[in-house]
Amino acid sequence: MMIQRNIQKTLLNMARQFKAVAVTGPRQSGKTTLCRQSFPHLPYVSLENPDERGRADRDPRGFLQRFPDGGVFDEVQRVPDLFSYLQEVLDDETRPGRYILTGSQQFGVMAHISQSLAGRVGLLALLPFSAAELQDAGHFPDTWPEALFRGGYPPLVDQGIDPQFWLNAYLATYVERDVRQIVNVQDTSLFQRFLGLCAGSIGQLFNASRIGNDCGLNHGTVSKWFSILESSYIAFRLPPHHRNFRKRLVKTPKLYFWDTGLAIQLLGIETPEQLATHPLRGALFENWIIVELMKIRLNQGKRPRHSFWRNNTGLEVDLLVDVAGSLCPVEIKSGMTLTSDWFTGLHRWMELAGGTAINPCLVYGGDVGSTEAGIQVLPWHALAQPEHLPEPLG
């Protein structure tokens, strides 16, 4: 069954305004299916295909002439020289939506677009299925450990493959193929260990020296390798909020994964039941909530404006959502039973933030929503219905 992607409306709208649209995202997130389904009138070519890639490499201008009315070019970062020739074509073109480009290496695609196609291309990022998409298709899990364990990659839903089998194969293929495309990593087993250490650091401040010490890498190599994870949509760094509120702030970003299923496999967790009692259950739950809220904005074609806040005394807010200078604080707890101390940090932060604070929320692992002392309490599954979330979360 084809699951409707929430980003499709945004993609079609953008294609009516830009001459070309680029859709980036991790491998197997559904980019090809989305673009071919959305633009069935455009011819499709995969630049992963060695024959097609060779033609585009040898004669970019001739390659483009095969598609006088445009086309869907998959994994376009594989032919970097093509971007300059696309610029010539687009500059002579007035029709919108002529070329749809996809790429699974974010920084590679973005670098070439900024050099050659700035202002000519609309940009979108497609992540694995969101909670809302799974809910609409009748595939949303009954418990949050199940939701985190499976993650959102389409083959796990469309084909019903065992998450352990598929995700482990995905990781092996990722290291052997994608990592080697971006940088020359000689010791793939060491890179796998690095990946596992990153998964073990979810929700923590990014500390390149500590990760390096644990796997025998210098600071520079850790930073370089983490940039690979960012480029290929495996992991990301959540920035700290910069506003001071008269307190000294932590200025180091936090580490998270784009898909909790991948992180869970790296941690060696084999069942949702093991996840429910794992020491990192809280960090993984926090990871899932943050990414689901970011997916809502990305599917609308908006840049995520999310950060966290922590001062030097340990006061922290898990997530801040910035809306035109106003800040919505979100506390995230994996427990199923509300306790009064969960609200302490939010109340103290609201006092510091004053008039900049709006709509404080607490998202937890239970099933019942409520309002407690001016703070909206949201059950974990509320993220499957973003239209009912308070502003600015939905």
Q: Which of 380, 218, 355, 384 is nearest to 287 (CA)?
A: 380
Task: Please tell me the predicted confidence (pLDDT) of residue 280.
Answer: 98
Quick check: 355 pLDDT over 90?
Answer: no
d(CA 137, CA 351): 42
314 CB-side CA count, 13 A: 1
The dihedral over CA atoms of 66, 113, 155, 204, expressed in degrees to the nearest 10, equals 170
Task: Please tell me the predicted confidence (pLDDT) of residue 333.
Answer: 98
With pLDDT > 90 as the criterion, what percentage of the chain qualifies? Answer: 80
Amino acid sitting at position 207: N
Task: Please tell me the predicted confidence (pLDDT) of residue 5.
Answer: 97
Quick check: 40 pLDDT over 90?
Answer: yes
Give the CATH fold of the 8-125 domain.
Rossmann fold (3.40.50)
Quick check: 66 pLDDT over 80?
Answer: yes
Task: Please tell me the predicted confidence (pLDDT) of residue 107.
Answer: 65
- Which residue would you say has higher pLDDT here, 174 or 185? 174
Could you report the per-residue pLDDT of 225-263, keeping only the tens digit for each?
Answer: 999 999 899 999 999 997 766 667 888 999 999 999 999
Quick check: 1 pLDDT over 90?
Answer: no
With pLDDT > 70 as the criterion, what percentage of the chain qualifies? Answer: 98
Domain boundaries, the chain: 8-125, 131-283, 306-388
Task: Please tell me the predicted confidence (pLDDT) of residue 108.
Answer: 67
Task: Please tell me the predicted confidence (pLDDT) of residue 244.
Answer: 66
Could you report the per-residue pLDDT of 101-158, keeping only the tens digit for each?
Answer: 999 877 667 777 777 787 889 999 999 999 999 999 999 999 999 999 999 999 999 8
Amino acid sitting at position 300: Q
Q: Give the torsion sign (CA, 58, 64, 65, 71).
A: positive
Q: What is the average pLDDT value for the chain, to the nearest integer?
A: 93
Residue 392: is the preceding peptide bond cis (ω within 30°)?
A: yes
pTM of the model: 0.95
The CATH class given to the 131-283 domain equals mainly alpha
